Structure 1
């Protein structure tokens, strides 16, 4: 929450096209793009499945069940995309149909944009995504007939055996006439899946292959898992404990008097009196965080509200930290019980134990970045991951570069650090779309003082939109496709 608004849509005459025309254009797209169709790793506003599985103390059996739970909730529905696309033709108002239509419109508008770019440089856009799903691939498949001169490059090469290699993204394609008197840069979209894909497998030759016969990739799960999954579901419900629920939903009203702000913070800490371990962690946090400590003292000693406005971001960060620590503490309290109950459940049935082991082996064949902050299914895929990140880094270092961030909140520290370093390149402009207040606060925590990191949309008391953007509340796919790219009319283009 910086004092100055960095939201470009505050500008009455903001022209998105003028920002991106003639530039090296890149998109960074996260799970928010598929929101409403696929589950995310989010357990609540302050704790994710990634945080959960990274906690020390889980037994090996419990970890296998956690991955089974993750697969069932997040990954498995992605394998049903072709079935869902067929259903969507019958029900255009379904959530799936609306999301898929957004993807198709987005791809179409990018190609129309590229067709109108100058021919003196490659007509190319890079889409970097952390999503495992196949929405982009199927979207292009549906609209490709409208763009006979176009290339969609997913980084694979081959006919029956498609090998994935980051070097394939360095290709530029030019069409020449029969007499070779002219050359036309073919509009190209590169799709770089930074966290892998459900269509990727590591074969016996230690190569990553892109396989669209999804039944071959899909781990067969033949486990009666209700009792196992229920143990994991219980973790999400920990925040519903009465005392915990009050604590985790505590908000600080920064328009209140300084005296009341301090009282609310003190009351919050006092509520933890029975949780001494958590209270100690929080006390240490305040003592070791000089900015927060200084702010709290400043609020206590100044009656004038303007003297303490800059403290808001430190206190918001502090509250998020408290809530995450409280929830982590609750999970740790339940760990022994959960480990024991899962072991007991599996020990009752040797067949379940063997099937769980088999699932674990099959699951590792899918080439995706696992949610435990560093565990890769293979050394080869780990190498591939860092090669893709290097390519991402190289693109951001180029002159006249634009990075448009959508559906991504920068929780991935590898990607966040690459973007932070790249912002030293003053010819790089990052334009972020914050879905809502929470995403805006997450981004501001890391990028608040960086001039070339701006927002295309954010929720902030400092950013009051004017004119035609007054009614926009969420930075969703509809905003990206129908507001930012409103200068492109798909219907008119198709009539030419």
Structure 2
């Protein structure tokens, strides 16, 4: 049976029972700890995604009736990609540039987990943990730039850092100056399952290199902003309210029946070139149903998913979930398959207690006691409250 833990909040402070504290401390002290973060983790700075995936899915299956409709499919795809870029990628360059006070709650998270693993006394477990995330932004890298905890993002090198999953097999120690005594330093492996704006393609040697995302995003914005009429972008965004593919299909038909694209048909080739340029510019898995095949076909994505699956299959593994809905089917399937591991524990921090039923339906056919849900009683679980709960683990 699933366990549900409700935590009370009084005047902005969480009140945690001794039983709950004991459960959390035992999990973090006796397990190999992995975090899984989704868009909700970055919501304080970047907001959350809309229903892009549903619209893209319906558009990819749409059967154009004539040449004009085929062109409209290309144009609408371009506008959807641009809308996603403007809302979810472009803000990264301005909102996640250098550290300021808006990052304080995220830094607090980094400081808390550093203390948790610094105090870990189980000699059978190291002081390393992993963060898996589907987010493209560099918030987590910036967190640990300002923390004592070492962050291994898979890159190695100074002048031209290169990415390799082999770099995740490292552990860090500090040796005393006047003795041979060594002590392991707390460290985090950061694995971005859907890629990152910091990833660039090495066109000469192949593979992934680290790049300055602010310049890339700014250049892309300047190059293509004139191609997209802001009024049309706003109209399209307001038009699509569907949460199911069949609803989205009807909304696509009504949009194509209007005159909104009539003046754009002559530039269909430009919009097709934009789509190709966008996919080449950013090494990310886009919010479309294609992401499952994209993930399997791309060696790096496949390797990261393999590492994620392997971590969950290890004995006494803990997966701590925050800001992730499990609507990414390939990740949901990996987690469900891993739940045959009887020692795997999954701790899902739920933003709203009413959403627990949604999670239970997703995991419905899996009957075991792997999952524990944590929700606040009458409040939404913000990053501040998440930090407060974690702080009780080492207090």
TM-score (norm. length: structure 1): 0.67
| CA contact 2:2–2:373 (8 Å) conserved in 1 | no
- Cα deviations across residues 91-123 of structure 1 (Å, max 9, x unaligned)? xxxxxx2xx222111111111111111373421
Q: Does 1:102 align with 2:105?
A: yes
Q: Does 1:21 align with 2:29?
A: yes
Between the aligned partners of 1:165 and 1:380, the Cα distance in structure 2 is 17
Secondary structure of 1:8 counterpart: strand
| CA contact 1:29–1:128 (8 Å) conserved in 2 | yes
Between the aligned partners of 2:236 and 2:54, the Cα distance in structure 1 is 14
| CA contact 2:57–2:245 (8 Å) conserved in 1 | no
| CA contact 2:162–2:210 (8 Å) conserved in 1 | yes
Q: Does 1:473 align with 2:379?
A: yes
Residue 375 of structure 1, CA deviation: 4.7
Alignment of 1:347-362 (within 5 A): 347=265, 354=270, 357-358=273-274, 360-362=276-278
- Cα deviations across residues 425-461 of structure 1 (Å, max 9, x unaligned)? 0110001111114532221112245333323424xxx
Residue 179 of structure 1, CA deviation: 5.9
How many residues in Structure 1 have an aligned counterpart in Structure 2? 366
Residue 82 of structure 1, CA deviation: 4.2
Corresponding residue for residue 210 of structure 1: 210
- Cα deviations across residues 186-213 of structure 1 (Å, max 9, x unaligned)? 1111111111111111120221112135
Q: Does 1:485 align with 2:391?
A: yes
Q: Does 1:328 align with 2:248?
A: yes
Residue 358 of structure 1, CA deviation: 4.4
Residue 185 of structure 1, CA deviation: 1.1
| CA contact 1:130–1:196 (8 Å) conserved in 2 | yes
What RMSD, in angstroms, separates the aligned Cα atoms of the two structures?
A: 2.9
Residue 389 of structure 1, CA deviation: 0.3
Residue 364 of structure 1, CA deviation: 2.3
Alignment of 1:110-121 (within 5 A): 110-118=113-121, 120=123, 121=125
| 4, 7, 25: which one aligns with 1:7 | 4
Between the aligned partners of 1:172 and 1:425, the Cα distance in structure 2 is 25
Between the aligned partners of 2:121 and 2:189, the Cα distance in structure 1 is 18
Residue 324 of structure 1, CA deviation: 2.8
Alignment of 1:98-177 (within 5 A): 100-118=103-121, 120=123, 121-141=125-145, 143-144=146-147, 147=148, 150-177=149-176
- Cα deviations across residues 373-424 of structure 1 (Å, max 9, x unaligned)? 2259989982111100000011111111110111001000111011001110
Structure 2 unmatched ranges of 5 or more: 8-15, 63-71
Secondary structure of 1:7 counterpart: strand
Q: Does 1:65 align with 2:71?
A: no
Distance 1:108 1:207, change over 3 A: same
Corresponding residue for residue 374 of structure 1: 290
Q: Does 1:341 align with 2:345?
A: no
Distance 1:472 1:402, change over 3 A: farther
Question: Which protein shows a greater Rg?
Answer: 1
| CA contact 2:45–2:95 (8 Å) conserved in 1 | no
Alignment of 1:346-425 (within 5 A): 346-347=264-265, 354=270, 357-358=273-274, 360-375=276-291, 382-425=298-341
Distance 1:102 1:233, change over 3 A: same
TM-score (norm. length: structure 2): 0.83
Between the aligned partners of 1:456 and 1:105, the Cα distance in structure 2 is 23
Between the aligned partners of 2:379 and 2:390, the Cα distance in structure 1 is 14
Residue 214 of structure 1, CA deviation: 2.4
Residue 136 of structure 1, CA deviation: 0.8
Residue 170 of structure 1, CA deviation: 1.0
Alignment of 1:287-326 (within 5 A): 324=244
Distance 1:379 1:190, change over 3 A: closer
Structure 1 unmatched ranges of 5 or more: 43-47, 90-96, 240-322, 459-468, 490-496
Q: Does 1:232 align with 2:236?
A: yes
Corresponding residue for residue 76 of structure 1: 90
| CA contact 1:8–1:456 (8 Å) conserved in 2 | yes
